[in-house]
Amino acid sequence: MSDKAINKEESGVWETIKVIVQALLIAVVVRTVLFQPFNIPSGSLIPTLLIGDYLFVSKYSYGYSRYSIPFGPPVMSGRIFGSDPKRGDIVVFKLPKDNSTDYIKRVVGLPGDTIQVIGGVLHINGKPVQRERVEDYKTTDVYGRTVSVPQYKETFPEGTSHFVIEKDGDRGYWDNTNVYTVKPGHFFMMGDNRDNSTDSRDEGSVGEVPFENLVGRAEIIFFSIDENASLWRPWEWPGYIRWNRMFERIK
């Protein structure tokens, strides 16, 4: 092989490496600054988000902290270009207990608020949040059987609404709590599946979430597939894809 051919081959290899490196850098920048994909692994936000939903989380919504960067290196403290989340936002955050596990919940309490659940009804600053019973929601129980459970339209004081379910009625473990006072610079998170959500009500597992731990706001579902779809039978996937949830805005 001539020197000219060898040099051409080496040049082609280096060009390929440069393209790969550039693509990786672009991916890191997009994931750090703009959007991060996230999939829903549990049913804590049913009926709003389902297991098997894949969504984009906007990283710029609340500014940036160390947790905006993959692996959360300790390169800064606090946030830059920070913007507080609004009550009702669905937020991905790092679990305060270990600062590494990704959680996703809805913001219900802002700094200085008092939060309490009484008989299944959420109370904010001593006042019950408006709750309207709507058509029952069909879900599965621990045995995989289809069951109908109470569903409510919940409206926050600011006027935003969403749906919640109460699998155990209003007698679940977290349907009666003490009063929580949200500390400055922290937020109180809850799941919409009120009887099946480990959230800020459980101070030992989650508790209040520091502003710094917020990763971003859930924006849109870009793909959704039923949790029963088998990884090993891809020919069946089209029948399991939830086409009606594609590109659905998250509220």
Residue 232 has pLDDT above 90, yes or no: no
The predicted pLDDT at position 144 comes to 79
Question: Choosing from 59, 68, 94, 105, which is the catalytic residue?
Answer: 105
Q: What is the pTM assigned to this prediction?
A: 0.85
**Contacts made by residues 136-139, CB under 8 angstroms, sequence distance 24+:** 137/46, 137/47, 137/163, 137/165, 139/43, 139/46, 139/47, 139/165, 139/167
The predicted pLDDT at position 20 comes to 66
The predicted pLDDT at position 75 comes to 79
105 part of the active site: yes
The predicted pLDDT at position 227 comes to 86
Instruction: Pick the more confident residue, 34 or 130.
Output: 130
Burial (CB count within 10 angstroms: exposed 0-12, middle 13-18, buried 19+), residue 172: middle
- The fold adopted by the segment(s) 3-249 is Umud Fragment, subunit A (2.10.109)
Residue 163 banded pLDDT, cuts 50, 70, 90: very high
Residue type, 233: R
CB 122 within 8 A of CB 97: no
Report in angstroms the alpha-carbon separations of 54 from 37, 38, 49, 113, 226: 7, 6, 9, 32, 11
The domains of the chain are located at: 3-249
97 part of the active site: no
Percentage of the chain modeled with pLDDT above 70? 86
Average pLDDT over residues 122-138: 97
In tens, the pLDDT along 21-41 reads: 655 555 555 555 567 899 999
CB 132 within 8 A of CB 203: no
Q: How far apart are CA 17 and CA 224, in angstroms?
A: 34
Instruction: Pick the more confident residue, 78 or 5.
Output: 78
N-term to C-term CA, the chain: 63
The predicted pLDDT at position 153 comes to 98
Average pLDDT, the chain: 88
3-state percent breakdown (helix, strand, coil) of the chain, nearest 5: 20, 35, 45
The tokens for 86 are 């609004």
In tens, the pLDDT along 198-220 reads: 999 999 999 999 999 999 999 99
The predicted pLDDT at position 87 comes to 98
In tens, the pLDDT along 59-113 reads: 999 998 988 877 777 878 888 888 899 999 999 999 999 999 999 999 999 999 9
